Amino acid sequence: MQPTSETYKRILLNSNHWFETTVVIGESGVLITERAERILFGGVAIIVARDGPSSGFGEEQIFSVRTTQNMLQQGPQLGTAIAAEIELQMLNPAGDIPNMALLVPYVRACSDEEQSEWIQQGVYYVDTREVTQNSDGLDVLTLHGFDAMLLTERYYTDSGRLNWSSGTVVDTAMVQEIARIIGVNVDARTWDIMTDGFRIPMPIQYTLREILGYIAGAYAGVFLMTDLGELRLVSITELPEETSLLIDNIGQYITFGGTRIKLTATT
């Protein structure tokens, strides 16, 4: 779990607390009104850069957010690389949202007296879009996406960056290379686990995800993407709290606008 401030922890101790969410979509976007109309200044749409939660769509535009990361399915899934998913329903914004556009949700704790910092809840990529109308006649956009683990569904090809002269490379070099290929960083806690220096043979006709699963199995663990969008190996003995961040400290679902936000880990 990401480090949280004393303000966040203090708010959770308050029985009258709630959570707010915002979702940043794409590399940049435009400000919209409550009815999903562009906000203009002098006839020009106001552009918002993707520079954090302040540039996202807030609860005036969002109907629901649901993220899922099934860590345990009928028992521990050791030796796997697990993708997380997101489903977002919101007022249909102006302009097109392309496939593979980024979705970055944030949440913060609130009370009558104060608000916490925004806490990032993952990095996702849009794979499907659907527009429907609700009972009020508003266009509702439903977006579904996966995190960067989806990008590992490709065969490994030798880039020339690794030294295969002995026919094998050390496992840490293989993980670093996979992270480079899919454009993410490796969570530093991964290196605390990968201390055995297993040698990996040239993975011909194996996907990046299969290679990660093979390495994870050697350490009795699984690979996943953290809330900051980094690749991480976790041991079955220390599953991270990222798997249930949208459930509060007493196990109750976080809600906003009357809609339950659910990040599920099947246990």
Model confidence band, residue 102 (pLDDT cutoffs 50, 70, 90): confident
Q: What is the pLDDT of residues 207-237, one digit of tens each?
A: 999 999 999 999 999 999 999 999 999 987 6
Q: What percent of the chain has pLDDT over 90?
A: 50
Mean pLDDT for 41-49 is 48
pLDDT number for residue 175: 98
Is pLDDT at 247 greater than 60 in this prediction?
no
SS3 of residue 24 by DSSP: strand
Residues with Cβ < 8 Å from 163, sequence gap 6 or more? 169
pLDDT number for residue 68: 84
SS3 of residue 55 by DSSP: helix
Model confidence band, residue 78 (pLDDT cutoffs 50, 70, 90): confident
Angstrom distance (rounded) from CA 174 to CA 190: 13
Residue 260, amino acid: R
Q: Other CB atoms closer than 10 Å to residue 167's CB: what's the count? A: 9
Cα→Cα distances 20→58, 153, 168, 182, Å: 8, 34, 49, 31
Mean pLDDT for 251-259 is 41
SS3 of residue 32 by DSSP: strand
Q: Which of 108, 123, 19 is nearest to 67 (CA)?
A: 123
Model confidence band, residue 29 (pLDDT cutoffs 50, 70, 90): very low
Is pLDDT at 30 greater than 70 in this prediction?
no
pLDDT number for residue 11: 95
Model confidence band, residue 27 (pLDDT cutoffs 50, 70, 90): low
End-to-end Cα spacing for the chain: 18
State whether the Cα torsion 253-258-263-267 is positive or negative. positive
Is pLDDT at 146 greater than 70 in this prediction?
yes
Angstrom distance (rounded) from CA 170 to CA 157: 17
Is pLDDT at 10 greater than 80 in this prediction?
yes
Model confidence band, residue 1 (pLDDT cutoffs 50, 70, 90): low
Q: What is the pLDDT of residues 124-138, one digit of tens each?
A: 999 999 999 988 888
Q: Other CB atoms closer than 10 Å to residue 81's CB: what's the count? A: 25
Residue 257, amino acid: G
Q: What is the pLDDT of residues 104-122, one digit of tens each?
A: 899 999 999 999 998 989 9
Angstrom distance (rounded) from CA 194 to CA 213: 14
Q: Which of 152, 224, 147, 214 is nearest to 189 (CA)?
A: 224
Is pLDDT at 176 greater than 60 in this prediction?
yes
pLDDT number for residue 46: 46
Angstrom distance (rounded) from CA 21 to CA 170: 41
pLDDT number for residue 201: 95
| Cβ burial, residue 76 (10 Å; 0-12/13-18/19+) | middle
Is pLDDT at 267 greater than 70 in this prediction?
no
Please name the helix (run of DSSP H) or strand (run of DSSP E) that holds residue 11, with its range, or none. helix 6-13
Angstrom distance (rounded) from CA 195 to CA 227: 24
Pair 212, 152: CB distance under 8 Å: yes
Is pLDDT at 84 greater than 80 in this prediction?
yes
